[in-house]
Structure 1
Amino acid sequence: MECPDITGLKLDYDDWEAIEDIRRRQRAGNMLEIIMPAGALATIFLGNNSAQATFNISGFDFVLFTKAMSQAGDIVRKSIEKEARMQYLSPGKSYEQRQFWKAIYSGCTGGV
């Protein structure tokens, strides 16, 4: 989505807290994409002899693992959309603040 030009936007404390929460969620999602494969490899190979590693490979559910990996980003995106929607619906927001949160909900992440 192309990000709108919002003039006169003034973010309040709740907005900044929500932005920081979104950043935390993005960082956690990035870490999850690194940790999940590392954990799978450790489960299969770490501390095992070749026979045990072969058994672990044959018993490992690669289909389920692939599905989980592919959905990690969706989970993060949906949690960010939920946060943006809650901020958009929050009482006392200015028109510009609502435009900002609507843009975030719609997929604009320019600089968040």
Structure 2
Amino acid sequence: MGCKSITGLVLDHQSKMRIAEIATKKKLFKALSVSMIGGTLMSVLNGRNKAEVIGNIKSTDFQALSSAFAGVHLIEKRALMDIADREVARRIPSKNRLFWENISYGCKN
């Protein structure tokens, strides 16, 4: 399925609430990513001397860290898809349903 154009879309109150919920979740996931980066840097760079910091850098598994960051994005995407899928399941006009199907598919415009 590709992203389909919608003209004359009028969202009901519940749909507007879901859009606000999506915006809030996106902010929370962004804060989570920043916290993970900040916490990791603090852990790695926290040391009493250069040797300890170098030891921390050597012992940090940056590949696992990269996987964890990628996981945050996947969890965020799934959370947003769940919201959109719940809206698709509601009894709503076809244009609204198409809008939420587009959101679930990952369309941004």
* TM norm. shorter chain > 0.5: yes
Please state whether the residue corresponding to 2:6 is helix, strand or coil: coil
1:33 equivalent in structure 2: 33
Any gaps of 5 or more consecutive residues in structure 1? none
Q: How many residues get paired? A: 109
Any gaps of 5 or more consecutive residues in structure 2? none
Scaled by the length of structure 2, what TM-score is found? 0.83
Return the alpha-carbon distance in structure 2 between the equivalents of residues 10 and 18 of structure 1.
14
Return the alpha-carbon distance in structure 2 between the equivalents of residues 77 and 12 of structure 1.
23
**Correspondence list, 1:78-89, <5 A:** 78-89=78-89
- What letter matches 1:23 in structure 2? A
Higher relative contact order (CA 8 A, sep 6+): 1
2:46 equivalent in structure 1: 46
> C-alpha displacement at 1:48, in angstroms?
3.2
Bigger mean CA deviation after superposition, 54-63 or 31-40? 54-63
Return the alpha-carbon distance in structure 2 between the equivalents of residues 87 and 49 of structure 1.
55
Return the alpha-carbon distance in structure 2 between the equivalents of residues 3 and 102 of structure 1.
9
> C-alpha displacement at 1:12, in angstroms?
1.2
- Change over 3 Å in CA distance of 1:12–1:48 after alignment to 2: farther
1:2-56 CA-to-partner distances (Å, cap 9, x unmatched) read 6422233221111011111111222222233333222111012135322332333
- What letter matches 1:74 in structure 2? L
Return the alpha-carbon distance in structure 2 between the equivalents of residues 45 and 52 of structure 1.
9
> C-alpha displacement at 1:74, in angstroms?
1.4
1:13 equivalent in structure 2: 13
Scaled by the length of structure 1, what TM-score is found? 0.81
1:109 is aligned to 2:83:
no
Please, what is the CA RMSD of the aligned residues?
Answer: 2.0
1:74 equivalent in structure 2: 74
- What letter matches 2:31 in structure 1? M
